[in-house]
Amino acid sequence: MTTIIEVTDLSKIYRLFRGPRALFKELILGLPSHTRIDALKGLAFQVQKGEAFGIVGDNGAGKTTLLKILTGTTFPTSGTVSVNGSVSALLELGAGFHPEFSGRQNIYFNGAVMGLSREEIRSREEQIINFSELARFIDEPVKTYSSGMYVRLGFSIATGFDSKILIIDEALAVGDQRFQKKCTDRILAFKRSGGTILFCSHNLHQVRTLCDRALWLHGGEVRSHGDASEVVDQYTHYSRGEEVDQGDSRNISPGQESLCWIENVRLVDRSGVERDRFDSGEDLILEVHAHFDNGFEGLPGIGVSIVRNDGIEVYTTSSTMDQRELTRKGPEKYLGKIEFVNLPLLSGQYYFNVVTTDQENMQAYSLVEKAEPFRISDAGPDFGLVRLPHRWD
């Protein structure tokens, strides 16, 4: 494969001054009077020719700054960027437009900025106007355009010339559904023709569907980089909440006057191997070792909940609800083994809550939260919590 974009140790620092006096103090007197913001810190990645490359991250993560550097509208503080091919970009709304120029004049203005001759621009002029559906307004100043008209014209210009690289920064979120569909069709056609796409969006479904690989920026740094589905899953898990505490929940000491408690928890696969990563549809087996004093009245029970890392309770059951007795392993020692066959959970970070209970399921005696965190990976197209059996008729 041919590398078309290469970023090496890229950093961008902004200096913010409170006002002209602070700037004067620093320039003339040499007194530091600014606030330093590290927008990007040591980024390194490559984009291959013909690849669709996604960029995800929270607001303020440095995504737009990175795209501006790649398009040449701002410059890095340190590091290098190599872009081997002509670039068309659709950044924030109205970027690259002169508000006093008409739509037609902005077509020529943007084409000239891209290094095209007047004849090359004229050969694509009508095609751009027709795609934008703005023929009635094309000779009006763009300052009179609505936000939707801005996007129509901007996208039409960005994709109307034979550029090798197309950079899009969230701008497709504006506009009616029909025009968004037109834009999607054109992007897919551009990709099929061998064009390279950098796609920055909060629409994770689009990133996962369109992109081959993706980059997750967090606080100006690369948090993850690789297969688009994998990176989107990681970012989704992060967005749902903090990573599950990986601390050891085994050998938990009982409280005073406890009649029963959880002693140990193990999550294993069908072969009995302890794991914390599974594919959707695999079998999971949770082994719960518990202590119940001889003085415990009634049938000993163990309850189990599967919880997603944002606190969404997926499923709860117990041995007593299912009318199953625990296996006695010795004096006051019991084992509860629950098997989840072909577990249909979709991609996500999950954990088990485990509790000792009575036969009426009215009392939780000893609760272990976030026991055995595990992760489900799924490369399929489904979204949600679980894959439900269904058919189309």
Sheet with 301-308, side-by-side order of all strands: 277-279, 364-377, 348-357, 301-308, 313-318
The reply to whether 246 falls in a domain is no
Taking a C-beta distance cutoff of 8 angstroms, is the pair 270, 327 a contact? no
The distance between the two most distant Cα atoms of the chain, rounded to a whole number of Å, is 94
Res 239: pLDDT: 83
Residue 282 in any domain: the answer is yes
Do 230 and 283 belong together in one domain?
no
Domain count, the chain: 2
Q: Cα(107)–Cα(138) distance, rounded to whole angstroms?
A: 10
How far does Cα 66 stand from its chain's mean position? 17
Which residues have C-beta within 8 Å of that of residue 119, sequence separation ≥ 6? Answer: none
Q: Find the CATH number of the domain harbouring 318.
A: 2.70.50.60
Q: Which residue, chain included where needed, has tokens 């006057």?
A: 257
Residues 6+ apart with CB under 8 A from 302: 262, 288, 290, 318, 319, 326, 334, 336, 354, 355, 356, 357
- The reply to whether 126 falls in a domain is yes
- Report yes or no on 384 lying in a domain: no
234 and 268 fall within a common domain:
no
What confidence score (pLDDT) does residue 220 get? 93
Contact 357, 342 (CB under 8 A): no
User: At 225, which CATH number?
Assistant: 3.40.50.300
Nearest to 304 by CA among 319, 291, 294, 285: 319
Distance CA 53, CA 44 (A): 14
- Residues 219 and 298 occupy one common structural domain: no
The pLDDT score that the predictor gives to residue 250 is: 44
Q: Kindly state the DSSP code that residue 254 receives in the 8-state scheme.
A: P
| Pairing verdict, β 213-218 and 52-56 | parallel
Report which secondary-structure segment, H or E, holds 36: strand 34-48
Per DSSP, the three-state class of 365 is strand
Instruction: Tell me the Ramachandran region of residue 219: left when phi exceeds 0, alpha when psi lies from -120 to 50, beta otherwise.
Output: left
317 and 370 together in one domain = yes
Amino acid present at 8: T
Considering only CA atoms, which of 372, 63, 54 is closest in space to residue 234?
54
Q: What is the dihedral of CA 34, 37, 42, 46, to 10 degrees?
A: -130
Q: What range does the domain containing 109 cover? A: 3-240
Q: Which residues touch 80 (CB under 8 Å, ≥6 apart)?
A: 6, 7, 8, 9, 10
- Report the DSSP beta bridge partners of residue 313: 307
236 and 365 within one domain: no
State pTM to two decimals: 0.72
Are residues 318 and 279 part of one domain? yes
- Angle (CA) 66-239-284 rounded to 5° is 125
Residues 188, 331 within the same domain: no
CB atoms within 10 A of CB 144: 11
The answer to whether 254 touches 352, Cβ cutoff 8 Å, is: no
Domain assignment of residue 30, yes or no? yes
The answer to whether residue 274 sits within a structural domain is yes
User: Do 136 and 276 lie in a common domain?
Assistant: no
Domain-located, residue 387: no
- Non-local (6+) Cβ contacts of 241 within 8 A are 309, 310, 311
Total Cβ atoms within 10 A of residue 389: 6
Q: Is residue 336 part of a domain?
A: yes
Q: What is the pLDDT along the chain (393 residues), one digit of tens a residue?
A: 699 999 999 999 988 777 777 776 777 767 777 778 899 999 999 999 999 999 999 988 999 899 999 988 889 999 999 999 888 887 765 567 888 999 999 999 988 888 889 999 999 999 999 998 999 999 999 999 988 888 888 888 888 888 899 998 876 555 666 777 788 788 888 999 999 999 998 888 788 888 999 999 999 999 999 999 889 888 988 887 655 544 444 444 454 457 889 999 999 999 999 999 999 999 999 999 999 988 887 889 999 999 998 889 999 999 988 999 999 998 999 999 999 999 999 998 999 999 998 777 666 788 898 999 999 988 777 888 999 988 999
**Does 154 share its domain with 281?**
no
- Same domain? 188 vs 333: no
Q: Say whether both 135 and 233 belong to one domain.
A: yes
Residues 202 and 271 in one domain: no
